[in-house]
Structure 1
Amino acid sequence: MTTQPAQRHPCPPGACDCGREQLLESPEQLQRILLLTREEEKKLIARLENLKDFDDLQHLQQRMYQNLGLRVHIAPGFNEVRTMRGIVIELEALPGLCRKTRQSIPAAIRRGLERNPQVAFSLLDAHDLLGGG
């Protein structure tokens, strides 16, 4: 007997625009994002807030894509970067991704960058903004 992994509970009607209902009709490979339950989301947010270094951030981005199909793009903004607000953090559109989660993941990454500025400096250096190359 096989058991289904826990899936995220649906949002209240009208509270979210995630498209969960349409996603349930699609192949299982596309439904990976539904494995991000509220408890797992809390763990992910805590992990993103406590970044160790730039490699850790890249590893988390890779794991989010592998496990959930969620791509997170992090790059310096078009104007100069004076604060963490100058770093652009975007999630690719993904059906089934709750509206609150779309807001909480970038916010958690930003808090992680604020707690460990060396990660932000490494990010800027990776985009050759600190003249490292």
Structure 2
Amino acid sequence: MLQAPTFPIRTECPPGACVCQRDALLAEPGGDTRILRLTREEEKKLLAHIDGIASYAELNKLSERLRSQLGVVLQITPSHNEVKSARGLSIVLEDRPGLCRKTRQAVPSAIRRSLERHPDIIYAILDAHDLLGPN
């Protein structure tokens, strides 16, 4: 029997539309259900917050909050080839049970839009990965 957490959780996706394994996560005793706190309404707030990111420090803070509050790891890495825009960066939310397919696509897209508006963040990411440093 599924035991519902004491906080509001994301409603399940239509059958066949997602592979988030929400029910398996809920059935697992002692499973990490933090990701299920990201309801559709909360996801909209998160995407609005991401659209407002204007610095590398804010992006790092967002990444840390995703990890601590939802258990989701955000990875932003430059391509091995030349990076001319936000399209040259790999932005991925690590796959984990309970994380909806649409969320895994929406969050990186929102980050990419924010990076396109603030190219200085892209330079900071490149610098953090030592791509602009001495060879």
CA displacement 1:2-34 (0-9 Å, x = unmatched): x92110010011111111110011245511100
Structure 2 residue aligned with 1:46: 48
* Structure 1 residues 91-110: aligned runs within 5 Å: 91-110=93-112
Q: Please give the secondary structure, in 1, of the residue aligned with 2:111.
A: helix
Residue type of the alignment partner of 2:49: R
- Percent sequence identity over matched residues? 50
- Quick one: which of 107, 112, 115 aligns to 1:113? 115
Contact 2:78 2:126 survives alignment (8 Å): yes
Structure 2 residue aligned with 1:74: 76
Contact 2:25 2:31 survives alignment (8 Å): no
Q: Please give the secondary structure, in 2, of the residue aligned with 1:30.
A: coil
How far apart in 1 are the matches of 2:29 and 2:81?
41
CA change 1:27–1:114 in 2 (3 A) is: farther
RMSD value over aligned CA atoms? 1.7
Q: If the length of structure 1 is used for normalisation, what is the TM-score?
A: 0.92
Aligned length: 131
> Which structure's relative contact order is higher, taking Cα pairs within 8 Å and 6+ residues apart?
1
Q: Please give the secondary structure, in 2, of the residue aligned with 1:89.
A: strand
Structure 1 portions without partners, runs of 5+: none
Q: If the length of structure 2 is used for normalisation, what is the TM-score?
A: 0.90
How far apart in 2 are the matches of 1:19 and 1:61?
23
Extract structure 1 runs of 4+ deviating beyond 6 A. Answer: none
Structure 2 portions without partners, runs of 5+: none
Q: Please give the secondary structure, in 2, of the residue aligned with 1:66.
A: helix
Contact 1:81 1:87 survives alignment (8 Å): yes
